[in-house]
Amino acid sequence: MRSKEGFASVLGHDLFYRQFGEPTVGEVLGLHGGPGATHDYLVPLADLAAHGYRVTLYDQLGCGRSQLPKDPSLFVPEHYVEELEAFRKEMKLGRPHLIGSSWGGMLAIAYALKYQKNLKTMTTVGGLHSVPLTASEMQRMKKTLPANVQRTMEMYETAGEYDAPEYQEAVMVFYRKFLCRLDPWPAEVAYSLSHISKPVYGTMNGPNEFTITGNIRYWDVTERLSDIHAPTLVLGGRYDEVSPLVAKEIHSHIKGSELTIFPNSSHVAFWEERAAFMKRYLRFLAKHPR
């Protein structure tokens, strides 16, 4: 699908963006995961353009084609919330339908806690409200992997050798079960994973998805979720690395929210069950017209 792309000046830095379609029905603003990934793996959201939505995707600060700042202290949730608000204004998106994947879902929640008046709706896809709960669930999932894979992980994690080829192979076993179950992976998913910004990911998350040692490791807004009143849709996959338990927790704390767990998906249901995902999301969007 044809897209418009460019750079937006946001809080003193240049952010790369892409837009699909025209906003005859509404605006959809997508937030990628990581933290530190790129917008590319979210391109299935461009399917919404055929239904009258303009879809805007962007690379967050330090990610993809966006500017990498010299100051790593900017790599915190609070900055990305303000960046999102400034980007919304700069791009003149009005009150968009905000949808965030993974860390992007966490960012959407953080944004809603401060700026929900500027949203039409909020949707999380494999999003999270509690890093400790999410990390605990991931450790449980690790224990379902083959014994030899677990032994390899334990050996290299104890040694702190996260870049060892054998360890990376073991990590990929986890990813192919709980991150994306398609074989082969879509090129955009592979691209985003292989182009994760190490400065951002390392600072905020850690060496991999289930070893969270960065500055978000204690982030937990469970007690504040009830403050969110924007129409909310919580989506996830049966095999999601951000487990269905996390999705159910978000749903239970946000009054009036809707929940759907896709039965054949892990972390990227918009790829793994693309048609069903779009049908579900469009049904939700239709309830909240311009």
Whether 164 is in a domain gets the answer no
Whether 179 is in a domain gets the answer no
The reply to whether 3 belongs to the active site is no
Whether 150 is in a domain gets the answer no
Cα distance between residue 241 and residue 142, in whole Å: 10
Q: What is the pLDDT along the chain (290 residues), one digit of tens a residue?
A: 678 999 999 999 999 999 999 999 999 999 999 999 999 999 999 999 999 999 999 999 999 999 999 999 999 999 999 999 999 999 999 999 999 999 999 999 999 999 999 999 999 999 999 999 999 999 999 999 999 999 999 999 999 999 999 999 999 999 999 999 999 999 999 999 999 999 999 999 998 888 899 999 999 999 999 999 999 999 999 999 999 999 999 999 999 999 999 999 999 999 999 999 999 999 999 999 98
Whether 168 is in a domain gets the answer no
Residue with tokens 């076993």: 173
Whether 148 is in a domain gets the answer no
Residue with tokens 């966006």: 66
How is residue 137 written in tokens?
């669930």
What phi and psi, each to the nearest 5 degrees, are found at residue 86? -65, -35
The reply to whether 267 belongs to the active site is yes
Q: Are 66 and 15 in contact (CB under 8 A)?
A: yes
- Active-site residue, selected from the candidate residues 39, 40, 101, 102: 102
Residue 103 CA to chain centroid, in angstroms?
A: 4
Whether 52 is in a domain gets the answer yes
Q: Tell how many helices (H) and how many strands (E) occur in the chain.
A: 10, 8
Counted domains in the chain:
1
Cα distance between residue 113 and residue 135, in whole Å: 22
Range of the domain at 110: 4-134+186-286
Close Cβ partners of 138 (under 8 Å, ≥ 6 residues apart): 178, 209, 210, 241, 243
The reply to whether 240 belongs to the active site is yes
The enclosing domain of 264 has a CATH number of: 3.40.50.1820
Neighbours of 90 (CB within 10 A): 14
Decide: residue 62, CB within 10 A, 0-12 exposed, 13-18 middle, 19+ buried.
buried
Which residue stretches of the chain are H helix? 77-90, 103-115, 131-142, 147-159, 165-178, 187-194, 198-204, 244-253, 269-272, 274-286
Close Cβ partners of 37 (under 8 Å, ≥ 6 residues apart): 63, 64, 102, 103, 192, 193, 195, 196, 197, 201
Whether 152 is in a domain gets the answer no
- Active-site residue, selected from the candidate residues 240, 257, 265, 266: 240
pLDDT of the residue at 1? 67
Q: Which residues of 114-126 are buried (b: 16+ CB within 10 A; e: fewer)?
A: ebbebbbbbbbbb
Whether 167 is in a domain gets the answer no
